[in-house]
Structure 1
Amino acid sequence: MPDGFPEFAPDLAVEVRSPSDRTGAVVAKVSDWLSGGTTLVWVIDPPREQVVVYRADGTVSVLAMGDVLSGEELLPDFALSPQELFAAT
């Protein structure tokens, strides 16, 4: 079995921030995903109870409790309220 990472990017990447994650490190990781070909990156931030959505076209959305996290064109039938996402935490 080869070592390392596969030579392709996923369509969707989901990063869950821990309290010790530095913002710059998370943004750098998002940049790596997007520059590698990932279409959509969700950064889940439990302490802030928000989700930041990064897209390949460069747009960014910050979702709060009353918003809806959508799979957009990638997962058209997916919709989840951040309130539901953070209810278990």
Structure 2
Amino acid sequence: MGADAAFILARSFPIRESKEGYLETIPEIVVEIRSKNDTQPEIASKVTEYLDAGTLVVWILDPDEQTVTAHRLDQPAQIFRSGDNLTCSDLLPGFATPVVRLFGGV
């Protein structure tokens, strides 16, 4: 399993790696960018895999729809659209970025 981006908060430091160099520290946030070849079942499987491993939030960026879907264990998915700000106040206090900027907009 290899995320497009992963965020490990300072509280999880020091980062642990296997002797082969694989990350053993579970990131709090994982980002996946949906490609044209990704099916919905493949995306759902990745989300489940990350959450089951202990990731707290999985963001799925969909360039075609220009949305970010935030997944958390045992919670309904939250969809951020191009007019919204992407936030994650419990893990990243003060973080907010316009979703449209993630897809090359102003």
Give TM-score scaled by structure 2 length.
0.73
Q: Residues of 2 paired with 1:7 and 1:87: CA distance?
A: 32
Tell me, which stretches of 5 or more residues in structure 1 are unaligned?
Answer: none
Q: Is the 8 A contact 1:8 1:36 kept in 2?
A: no
SS of residue paired to 2:95: strand
1:15 aligned to 2:32? yes
1:57–1:77 Cα change, 3 Å = farther
With CA pairs under 8 Å and 6+ residues apart, which has the higher RCO, 1 or 2?
Answer: 1
After superposing on structure 2, the runs of 4+ consecutive aligned residues of structure 1 that deviate more than 4 Å are: none
Q: Residues of 2 paired with 1:87 and 1:45: CA distance?
A: 13
Per-residue displacement from partner, 1:25-68 (whole Å, max 9, x unpaired)? 01100001001110111000001111101113423111111111
What percent identity do the matched residue pairs reach?
A: 33
Match of 2:101 in 1: 84
Q: Is the 8 A contact 1:34 1:56 kept in 2?
A: yes
Q: Residues of 2 paired with 1:80 and 1:57: CA distance?
A: 25
Choose 68-77 or 36-45, whichever is displaced more. 68-77
Map 1:5-44 to 2 at 5 A.
5-44=22-61
Give TM-score scaled by structure 1 length.
0.85
Provide the aligned length of Structure 1 versus Structure 2. 87
Match of 2:82 in 1: 65
Tell me, which stretches of 5 or more residues in structure 2 are unaligned?
Answer: 1-18
